[in-house]
Amino acid sequence: MKKLVFWLIAILVTLALLVYQRMTGPTYPSRGKVAIGESLIKFKLARSAETTNDCQIAVRVPDQRITGHLIYKRFKTDDPWQEVPLERREDLLIASLPKQPSAKKLAYKVILTSQEKEISLSGERPVNIRFRDPVPAGLLIPHIIVMFLAFLFSIRAGLEALDPKGNPRKLALWTTVLLFIGGMILGPLVQKFAFGIFWSGFPFGHDLTDNKTIIALIGWIVALIAGRGGKPSRWWVFAASVLLLAVYFIPHSLLGSGSDF
């Protein structure tokens, strides 16, 4: 019964983290709502796009009296802002950002106008969007699944380590293997497809996703070494589990792969 409870807790924590990762980070859409005229506009602005096509930006604005435009420029440049009018298609106002090479970024704002009053959906700060090459689903999906399985086994191993009668050795081994496959094999392959580089963490760059993966993996390798000879090494396993939990709270792709113009 205790093991079943531990697995249920581990699954719930993993699902909660999945939601957290989905809602945070610089690549997931910027969401919000603004009031303009008599309308409350809810929006979702893209922060990630593929290099194969222009990125369409669409905002649902049922009030036909509201118009607007989109302005954009290359990220971290002194380029002048380029302006594109928002085209109305029934309830949508739509414009497109020109596609960019892999790892390049654009900064943009969507500005709505009602009765000569203008409002930027993102406020004073622009939205930054990064472009990437397509990643095959047959590679991306296994990478995501294996990484979250690694987290699931990590949480389960940590709970087992808290049980005075528990032996988390096998769970620790599974966690380490899954983390190595997902983070050090599938992860670099995904990054190679998306940005043309296998690794952009230490010592070649400052990609937090790469760096947090290697830190977590080192923690689990240390826990395995501490448990050599069949010793449970419960506190080492618990520490490695907490370490992985901590690094997962760093939003995915924060300070991720990118290149200046």
Angle at 167 between CA 162 and CA 169, to 5 degrees: 110
Say if pTM beats, i.e. exceeds, 0.85.
no
Q: What is the pLDDT of residues 14-26, one digit of tens each?
A: 999 888 877 777 7
Strand order in the sheet with 55-60: 55-60, 92-97, 87-89
**Which of 121, 102, 110, 55 lies closest to 86 in space, CA to CA?**
110
Q: Which overall architecture, per CATH, does domain 37-132 show?
A: Sandwich (2.60)
- Least confident stretch, 2-6, 49-53, 117-121: 2-6
CA 5 and chain centroid, separation: 29
pLDDT band at 253 (very low <50, low <70, confident <90, very high): low
List where CATH 2.60.40.10 sits in the chain.
37-132
